Structure 1
Amino acid sequence: MPDFEKKILDYVTRPGYTPVREKSLLKKVGGSKSTASEFEQAMESLRARKDILVSDSGLIRPVKKEGWIAGTIKKTNSGAGYLIPHHKPDDIAHDQRHAGDLYISERDLGDAQTGDEVYATVVNRRRSGGQICGRVVEIIERASTTFVGTYFEAQGEGYVHVDGKIFNSPIHVGDPGAKGVHSDDKVVIDILRFPSRNYLGQGVISKVLGPHGKPGVDLLSIIYEFGIPMDFPEEVLEAAREQASLFDEKKWGDRRDLTKETIVTIDPADARDFDDAISLSRDERGHWLLGVHIADVAHFVKEGSTLDREAKNRGTSVYLPGRVIPMLPEVISNGLASLQEGQVRFTKSALIEFTAEGIPIHTEFANSVIKVTQRFAYEQVMPIVQGRDQEGGNVSTPVRSLLKNMHHLAMILRGRRFSAGALELHLSEVRLTFDAKHRVSGVVEREHDESHQIIEEFMLAANIAVAEAFNDRELRFLRRVHPSPELPRQLAFADFVNALGYTLKKAQSRKDLQKIVEQVHGTPVEQAINYALLRSLKQAEYTDEELGHYALAVDHYCHFTSPIRRYPDLTIHRMIDEIIERPEKGKGQSPQGLRQLGQELSLRERRAEAAERELTKVKLLTWMIDNEIKTLNTMITGVETFGLFCRGTDVPVEGLLHISRLGKHDYFNVDSAKFSIVGERTGQEYRIGDMLTVEVEKIDLDRRELDFRLPNSKKAGKPAKNGASQRGGKSSKSFSKAKPNTKKNSRKLKSQRGKKKKRK
């Protein structure tokens, strides 16, 4: 262990340590300005390994304290939760039944919420299944203090029901009418005191978004809920305008002139920015020379600049239904950097030579200048390749020949990838369509034909080629990795497949996994098996560690092809500049902060994906309400002790069919081996993959929940107490929910306010 690492750990774990910031800690451990870089490197190494924690305010805390365990809280709907430790003590790590997580009852959680980093201790009791229990003793850092919800009034005071299932009780926001708010408005609140088992939370309204259900308010709600930056600060816009004024398409410098090459772009019909273009030729030996030309964003966004800091903070463009929130101002993303047809544009080109069989044998990089010959939408490509298009003279002979060659090489590369063990899931993707008032008008499934595969193969080839070139030079860079799955999850997936009547010979074999995926393609269980396989895999992420990419079956991979919308690609482009300028002297990216940057960018990416997923869910549920959708054809996607999760086959929404809705005169038990639930008296069995027609019982937009019932089962079984759907034991509000100022709710609010005042 480097000396600074030991000194830092010794200091922050000493008895009585009070959290300090880096500048102070440097002095405490005997550092100085001359050793500051070594100190920072040690800090980043400790932080990346999660041996220390650094809060947003910069305070440094140890992960390990005497008798305490640091980790992240994940709450359940029942009010209890789990601690996912950063480092698992031996007694927890050996508890294989529960993946080493610590169960924390509602009374032991205090006011900790999902995503909070906390310290916890093990308590002297276990759950009935033997799981170790714990108690939260200190909050290290809150996941968020800002939330979105629906305002209401009760007993002359204001309250907010926070969206989703974060809190089981409303947040008290004081006197009615603050900021001109009205009942049923969507609002943003800042939490002053988090709710606990015995006390209501307290907050203050920071922004009124508008009436619940007003067009656009759902979009704003998701944006604020996930903390996604929207408008660019004026200084960032000014910096982008300055770059536009400096750009001169006639001043190429020493860029390679590719403006006479036949080059095309292929993108969605409604795309606004174009960051990749393709050229392809063949020499007398039959070798292919593929040119992947990527928008040179690094030319406009210099490291450390105002534009760079903003792009790093955003991490990625966010693609929400009906709205794109770009990583860079539009003057760059849709203008200067966008590879528009007929416009001179600066690019970074990866020029890859393949044998006739598609084996890569040489790669070089160039700062280049191109002029796209023609732009295509995906839908236009295959008719041209297959000679059945109606374009006539709109497509020249060189362009037509280029598209056919692109298709030919792409299919060769695709065949080689799958022969090498690459894995590709068949997951249905949907696109929402909107009317003039920005309301959902329909749902269409995204096409993924061979025109998409052409671009996909070339982007993969370029990303692999860049990563391998960097690795060969022993450079340290931001990799895109996909760690291998854990064996227990693979074996569980194999059991699941076998229960559905299929045979997976080797759960650890990618080729066998792909065979299963192909075998079930087009069958009723396709989506169930694909989603189960997806859940068995780990998430891809950004890091400097050499972990490989499991799904692609390659050792080295990075993101190079989308710098307009992904910050990691921008870091790779800057390294290419280094290689071009100093071929023999490049050192790669600084180790200081590289792993931390990867963690932060991975979180930004997941935030964007979660926001897109949640808004899509809200839009779909709203569409169902507006169109009075009463019945759905579904597939069972999950089996739990409290019921079945069912996903619509035409409308891609998932809901719960509660166990009380399965049969009035029967008792149902879960058969884990068959992934099914079976009636004791009737023998009626429901299992994952079964098709089921269900009726919509209720929709709760705020909690984003959908409850089903079987046809003619309105009176089946006793409903859960207080109308609960028992998603883990707690109630879910109906879309046509009762007003929150009923006598019962009023007594509860009054009682909890009394406890709050007494506590003061």
Structure 2
Amino acid sequence: MSPNDGRSLESLILNKLLAVDYQPVTPGVLARQLQLSRDQGEEFRETLTQLLEAGRARQDKHGRIKPRGSTGSATGIVKRINSGAGWVIPQQPLPELHGGDIYIASRDLGDAQSGDEVQVRLTSRRRTGGQRCGIVEKVLKRATSTFVGTWFEQGGRGYVRIDGSQYPDPILIPDSGARGPRRDDKVVIEMLRFPSERRAGEAVITQILGKRGDPGIDTKTVIHSLGLPTEFPEPALAEARAAATRFDEDQIADRTDLTGETIITIDPSDARDFDDAISLTRSADGTWHLGVHIADVSTFVTPGSELDQEAQKRGTSVYLPGHVIPMLPELISNGLASLQQDQIRWTKSVFIDISPDGSVLGSDFENAAIRNCRRFAYEEVMPLIRQPDSAAARREDPRVIRLLQQMFELAMLLRRRRTEHGALQMGIPEVEIDFDKDGHVTGAHERHHDESHEIIEEFMLLANITVARALTTHRIPFLRRVHGDPDELRMTSLQQFVTGLGLTLRKPQSRHELQQLVRKAAGQPIERAVNFALLRAMKQAEYSPEDLGHYALAEEDYCHFTSPIRRYPDLTVHRLIEQLIRDRKQPQPAFSELVQLGRHCSFTERRAERAERDLIRIRLLRFMSTRVGQEMDAIITGVESFGIFCQGIAIPAEGMLHVSGMGEDYWEFDPVGRSLTNTRTRRQLRLGDPIRVIIAAVDIDRRQLDLAPTGNSNRRTARTASSVPAGRPGPLPPRENSDGRKPAGSGKNGSKKSVKGKQPGSPSGTSGNASGPKRNGESPGSRNSPTSRKRSDQSRRRR
């Protein structure tokens, strides 16, 4: 290998010194190991001397070259684990880390907490698995200093036990009497001094939310703990009112008048904002003419305005059970912009010509005015399509029935073409939780999802792809929706996992083989296990101006355009489409600004998802707390050396069954097959298997549900909720390849390891949690799908 310059040779030397398998050698041996030519000898000696003088390498008394004790610094985000130690995930990949994270011992974390951005000094220490170690030198930015917890008094002093398990010790409130909290009050605190290994935390109460368990307290807890903005500032509301005053639906001006066309919407039955509508015709030669009409929010929200700044800050609407926090004031989101039935509304319309075989022939964009002539709920659509002569169909306008039939025909054609092109269709049937008027869980049912959802999914996908291709063609930088290729080694782990299930996956990076894998598992007992594993093998989709493509959709160019009422990235794309319509280029933001905006919007999206997930988790735990001691049927959703994670079938609460509650026998953990096997009875517990468990313990404040096995007279109760660590592992084999960690119990090479049922303690970062598994990646038809239709105000709504 011949470097071209001194800098590349410097990197070559440093990479060698920092390699996990490097053994100190003399300069001559090092040069031979680097396979340098004789002509590079002088350059090598000069470069090595510079590294030694700069302190970036050192030479011992035997003349051997070693890496320096501290090899530079890095910035990244902290993720603490239950042992008190943590990992720092670098913001920029560093060659010396080989794609891994940095391990920080508890004594070296200082007061850094999960989510904090920190500066880390790398040391020469390495863990057994080769992961680099470091010391936190400075907290650059706190993830948050606001927390929610429960107040109590002890020894004449006030304390708050913060919700969740990140802070095991209570936080001292020196002057809690100033606000007069009472025992078991839920309070908001501002951290004055973060806890560390050497000193306790200290905080001040900023707000008393109310008594723990009171109606509405759970929602307030989630909102304040995540710092979700609720009330709109008055300047933003004033701009919304001014926009309403200016809006005159009869003044269409230079917009294309489509008010006489047959245009419809299909949404959840209880939706309140409608941001997309469809029109469709077909020529005599079989060419389709699809119109996707999206609410023109950019008309009411101008760049840099108070309204725009507030929308950008929020990033997305947040949909909680029984409560919505909109991105835009309801005057706009549910009024001016919403494509309500029989009302004239303004749109950004995408017109796409499609050949009889489903290929796109051309596209155009226009500012338009439409009148939604019929608003459908999903449940109404397929009966009308399948039974066009029914009494219900005869009550509809014949043009609407014809439109529905054509929409169905085209959507299924587009779906087949996408699948042939390699798009992944994967997912697990979703369970929707039922609540009473007070927000208490009453039951659950499988979420309705049929071809009516797929019709809208396909048209929204095509519109998003069409817009992204147009912006790319015109070389206009924009916020893309990107989904990177999965890590090769993680996919190899997936391959090993499905092999253990008796399936074949020869080329794990091949989308077509993954499609076949999903098809082979469909309808089989292992279907859920395969889908769990595949979804978690995927990376998480995010917003970025970088041209990274979308793996799950098998598309090079993709963006979000179809939901500007509730997603800020869509609004930014609408403004760019306006430039194409007007044929007027505007000054573009710097690439670095788009990068920051993408990170912010990705953060707000995940925050919204977490808010919904946390509130559902709390309510499921309340439901389960009244059923302690009862049995339930469940599915194994995760297997680790220390126990299994199970999700209820009737009620999708998820908890952990620890090996300490599984009798006196030893259990052998197989990290490849993702299973625990009883060494005496050979009973096997495997990902995706059904299992019957006992609800052993519930801790709502710590968000934990502990389970115990049934049918074992010698069983001991699972550990109490307070003793189970926090976090949620994925079901895939060890991720040592992607994040540098080797989970406990996996052996030196990920080999099998036996653990005893009464084993004390478990690896950090694990606990039973009461919600369904988080799904990574973004694939059509899955919960994180870019095309999953808008849901009711009580559920997540994303595409």
TM > 0.5: yes
The equivalent of 1:179 in structure 2 is 179
C-alpha contact (below 8 Å) 1:676/1:686 kept by paired residues: yes
Partner Cα separation in structure 2 for residue 358 and residue 173 of structure 1? 65
- Superposition pairs of residues 192-211 of structure 1, within 5 angstroms: 192-211=192-211
The equivalent of 1:728 in structure 2 is 763
Q: Is 1:612 aligned to residue 612 of structure 2?
A: yes
Q: Match for 1:451: what amino acid?
A: S
Change (3 A) 1:519 1:371: same
Displacement after TM superposition at 1:721 (Å): 9.9
Q: Is 1:672 aligned to residue 677 of structure 2?
A: no
The equivalent of 1:641 in structure 2 is 641
C-alpha contact (below 8 Å) 2:617/2:769 kept by paired residues: no
C-alpha contact (below 8 Å) 2:645/2:768 kept by paired residues: no
Partner Cα separation in structure 2 for residue 417 and residue 317 of structure 1? 29
- Superposition pairs of residues 308-457 of structure 1, within 5 angstroms: 308-387=308-387, 389-457=390-458
Residue range with higher mean Cα deviation, 608-617 or 415-424: 608-617
Displacement after TM superposition at 1:712 (Å): 5.1
Residue range with higher mean Cα deviation, 376-385 or 424-433: 424-433
The equivalent of 2:80 in structure 1 is 75
C-alpha contact (below 8 Å) 1:149/1:163 kept by paired residues: yes
Q: What is the DSSP-based 3-state SS (H/G/I as helix, E as strand, rest coil) of the residue aligned with 2:270?
A: coil
Partner Cα separation in structure 2 for residue 549 and residue 654 of structure 1? 30
Q: Match for 1:493: what amino acid?
A: L
Q: Match for 1:255: what amino acid?
A: R
Change (3 A) 1:331 1:182: same
Change (3 A) 1:541 1:185: same
C-alpha contact (below 8 Å) 2:88/2:101 kept by paired residues: yes
Displacement after TM superposition at 1:715 (Å): 5.6
Partner Cα separation in structure 2 for residue 729 and residue 596 of structure 1? 32
The equivalent of 1:682 in structure 2 is 681
Residue range with higher mean Cα deviation, 271-280 or 543-552: 543-552
- Superposition pairs of residues 49-448 of structure 1, within 5 angstroms: 67-93=72-98, 100-123=100-123, 125-387=125-387, 389-448=390-449
The equivalent of 1:744 in structure 2 is none
Q: Match for 1:448: what amino acid?
A: H
Partner Cα separation in structure 2 for residue 465 and residue 125 of structure 1? 51
Q: What is the DSSP-based 3-state SS (H/G/I as helix, E as strand, rest coil) of the residue aligned with 1:303?
A: coil
Partner Cα separation in structure 2 for residue 391 and residue 692 of structure 1? 44
Q: Match for 2:505: what amino acid?
A: L
Partner Cα separation in structure 1 for residue 721 and residue 271 of structure 2? 48
Partner Cα separation in structure 2 for residue 616 and residue 424 of structure 1? 26
C-alpha contact (below 8 Å) 2:116/2:142 kept by paired residues: yes
Displacement after TM superposition at 1:360 (Å): 0.7
Q: What is the DSSP-based 3-state SS (H/G/I as helix, E as strand, rest coil) of the residue aligned with 1:362?
A: strand
Partner Cα separation in structure 2 for residue 378 and residue 625 of structure 1? 35
Gaps of 5+ in 1: 1-64, 94-98, 736-760
C-alpha contact (below 8 Å) 2:236/2:307 kept by paired residues: yes
Deviation string, structure 1 residues 226-256 (Cα, Å, up to 9, x no partner)? 1110111122112111111111111111000
Residue range with higher mean Cα deviation, 144-153 or 391-400: 391-400
The equivalent of 1:561 in structure 2 is 562
Partner Cα separation in structure 2 for residue 734 and residue 409 of structure 1? 42
C-alpha contact (below 8 Å) 1:477/1:589 kept by paired residues: no
Q: Match for 2:696: what amino acid?
A: E
C-alpha contact (below 8 Å) 1:475/1:589 kept by paired residues: no
The equivalent of 1:510 in structure 2 is 511
Residue range with higher mean Cα deviation, 386-395 or 556-565: 386-395
Change (3 A) 1:589 1:68: closer
Q: Match for 1:428: what amino acid?
A: P
Partner Cα separation in structure 2 for residue 522 and residue 657 of structure 1? 27
Q: What is the DSSP-based 3-state SS (H/G/I as helix, E as strand, rest coil) of the residue aligned with 1:531?
A: helix
Q: What is the DSSP-based 3-state SS (H/G/I as helix, E as strand, rest coil) of the residue aligned with 2:672?
A: helix
Change (3 A) 1:212 1:720: closer
Partner Cα separation in structure 2 for residue 628 and residue 679 of structure 1? 26
Q: Match for 1:396: what amino acid?
A: D
Displacement after TM superposition at 1:201 (Å): 0.5
C-alpha contact (below 8 Å) 2:698/2:705 kept by paired residues: yes
Partner Cα separation in structure 1 for residue 629 and residue 374 of structure 2? 44
Partner Cα separation in structure 2 for residue 292 and residue 477 of structure 1? 20
C-alpha contact (below 8 Å) 1:321/1:432 kept by paired residues: no
Percent identity reads: 49
Displacement after TM superposition at 1:348 (Å): 0.8
Displacement after TM superposition at 1:199 (Å): 2.0
Change (3 A) 1:551 1:307: same
Q: What is the DSSP-based 3-state SS (H/G/I as helix, E as strand, rest coil) of the residue aligned with 1:504?
A: coil
Q: Give the CA RMSD over aligned residues.
A: 2.3
Q: Match for 1:701: what amino acid?
A: I
Partner Cα separation in structure 2 for residue 405 and residue 590 of structure 1? 43
The equivalent of 1:657 in structure 2 is 657
Residue range with higher mean Cα deviation, 135-144 or 361-370: 135-144
Change (3 A) 1:348 1:116: same
Partner Cα separation in structure 2 for residue 89 and residue 248 of structure 1? 56
Q: What is the DSSP-based 3-state SS (H/G/I as helix, E as strand, rest coil) of the residue aligned with 1:423?
A: coil
Deviation string, structure 1 residues 303-361 (Cα, Å, up to 9, x no partner)? 11111111011010011112111000000000000000000101110000001111111
Q: Match for 2:287: what amino acid?
A: H
Partner Cα separation in structure 2 for residue 202 and residue 423 of structure 1? 49
C-alpha contact (below 8 Å) 2:348/2:366 kept by paired residues: yes
The equivalent of 2:470 in structure 1 is 469
Change (3 A) 1:477 1:213: same
Change (3 A) 1:571 1:722: closer
Partner Cα separation in structure 1 for residue 344 and residue 279 of structure 2? 15
Residue range with higher mean Cα deviation, 688-697 or 83-92: 83-92
Displacement after TM superposition at 1:69 (Å): 2.5
Gaps of 5+ in 2: 1-69, 725-760, 771-799
Change (3 A) 1:435 1:551: same
Q: Match for 1:69: what amino acid?
A: A
Displacement after TM superposition at 1:586 (Å): 6.4
Q: What is the DSSP-based 3-state SS (H/G/I as helix, E as strand, rest coil) of the residue aligned with 2:120?
A: strand
Change (3 A) 1:712 1:572: same
C-alpha contact (below 8 Å) 1:661/1:713 kept by paired residues: no
Displacement after TM superposition at 1:394 (Å): 3.0
C-alpha contact (below 8 Å) 2:550/2:556 kept by paired residues: yes
The equivalent of 1:486 in structure 2 is 487
Provide TM-score, normalisation by structure 1: 0.84
Deviation string, structure 1 residues 64-85 (Cα, Å, up to 9, x no partner)? x973332211111222111222
Change (3 A) 1:348 1:87: closer
Change (3 A) 1:475 1:126: closer
Q: What is the DSSP-based 3-state SS (H/G/I as helix, E as strand, rest coil) of the residue aligned with 1:385?
A: helix
Partner Cα separation in structure 1 for residue 434 and residue 720 of structure 2? 39
Partner Cα separation in structure 2 for residue 401 and residue 344 of structure 1? 23
Partner Cα separation in structure 2 for residue 425 and residue 228 of structure 1? 31
Displacement after TM superposition at 1:593 (Å): 1.1
Displacement after TM superposition at 1:126 (Å): 3.8
The equivalent of 1:752 in structure 2 is none
Displacement after TM superposition at 1:722 (Å): 11
- Superposition pairs of residues 8-19 of structure 1, within 5 angstroms: none
Partner Cα separation in structure 2 for residue 110 and residue 713 of structure 1? 45
Work out the number of aligned pairs and report it: 664
Change (3 A) 1:168 1:713: farther
Displacement after TM superposition at 1:262 (Å): 0.3
Partner Cα separation in structure 1 for residue 367 and residue 588 of structure 2? 18
Change (3 A) 1:397 1:628: farther
Q: What is the DSSP-based 3-state SS (H/G/I as helix, E as strand, rest coil) of the residue aligned with 1:180?
A: coil
